[in-house]
Amino acid sequence: MSNLKLITTETFNNLPCNFYRNMNDDILLTREQIGQALEYADPMVAIGKIHNRHSDRLNKFSFTNLVNGHQIYYYTEKGVMEICRWSKSKCANEFMDWVWDVIKKYRHNELTPDSSIVSTLTSITNTLTALTQTITLMQQEINTIKETKHTPNIPKKKYSYWTSKMFPKYQLLTDYFQISNTELYKNLYTELENTYPDIDLNQEIADYCYINNLDTCYTLDVIEHNPTIRKLFESIVDNLLQKYNLINYNLTTAKPTIFDS
């Protein structure tokens, strides 16, 4: 009796009745549900009395099973019929016919899932779906927190006034010569050293790194840091813009005043 399987739940006069099947393929109902369906005030006691009066018949059509410390009585389809035959309940015949029809449909694979079971399964499915979605969202939030924790919030680099002023000039030259910024800078550094032989950018870079305790640095940062070199470098850029007619009003350093006429 430990291998009982619930095969269907059907409703008799608004009462849900569970139908079980055992390893011998017997269809079973519990004593309590039979008594409830027959509308006894005390279902267990009433059916127990019928059983005791006709134990010679009902013993072989009944089984007991221990569920959560309680002794549960089960009756086969013949046992249900016998109880209904001896019961004086006004709905005994109706219940007997109903049980017979349910079992017949089961034997012929004609049972449709009970609406209460379908509703329960649907509810369980919806709950599991919602739970899965919640877990997914929680995992996404955890991953976001982990990424935030391990990825430092690096502020955007702020460019100096000189760098912002020079960038459009570099852009004009790279567009004109169809070269990259890296190639432009390399040529500008060479032009600076060729024009002013006393300037040694490698030495300036080494000094800048030493003073600022750095392993490496950008050459443009070194140039910007030295006012003299910065001014000379800017003049070279401006001269190139003039040479190739690339200067426009937006790049001139002079601002209009009331004295311009």
pLDDT of 179-209, one tens digit each?
A: 998 999 999 999 999 999 999 989 999 889 9
Question: Across the chain, what does the average pLDDT equal?
Answer: 85
Does residue 128 have a pLDDT over 60? yes
Q: Are residues 112 and 194 in the same domain?
A: no
Tokens coding 201: 């950018």
Q: What integer pLDDT is reported at residue 45 of this predicted model?
A: 95
Range of the domain at 183: 161-251
Which of 218, 217, 220 has the alpha carbon at shortest distance from 167?
Answer: 220
Domain end residue (candidates: 100, 117, 134)? 117
Q: What Rg value do the Cα atoms of the chain yield, rounded? A: 47
Which phi and psi angles does 174 have, rounded to 5°?
-65, -35
Within-domain flag for 152: no
- Tell me which of 15-19, 39-43, 149-153, 245-249 is least confident: 149-153
Q: Are residues 166 and 234 in the same domain?
A: yes
CA gap 181, 238 in Å, rounded: 16
Using alpha carbons only, give the angle 162, 168, 169 rounded to the nearest 5 degrees: 85
Q: Are residues 106 and 202 in the same domain?
A: no
Q: Are residues 22 and 85 in the same domain?
A: yes
Q: Are residues 9 and 95 in the same domain?
A: yes
Within-domain flag for 146: no
Which of 125, 32, 157 has the alpha carbon at shortest distance from 83?
Answer: 32
Within-domain flag for 204: yes
Domain count, the chain: 2
Q: Are residues 85 and 177 in the same domain?
A: no
Within-domain flag for 32: yes
DSSP character string of 136-186: HHHHHHHHHHHHHHHS--PPPPPPPHHHHHHHHHHHHHHHHHT--HHHHHH
Within-domain flag for 178: yes
Question: For residue 12, what pLDDT band results from cuts at 50, 70 and 90?
Answer: very high
CA gap 78, 94 in Å, rounded: 16
Does residue 1 have a pLDDT over 80? no
CA gap 16, 29 in Å, rounded: 11
* Model confidence pTM above 0.85: no
Q: Are residues 19 and 100 in the same domain?
A: yes
**Residue range 133-157: mean pLDDT, rounded:** 69
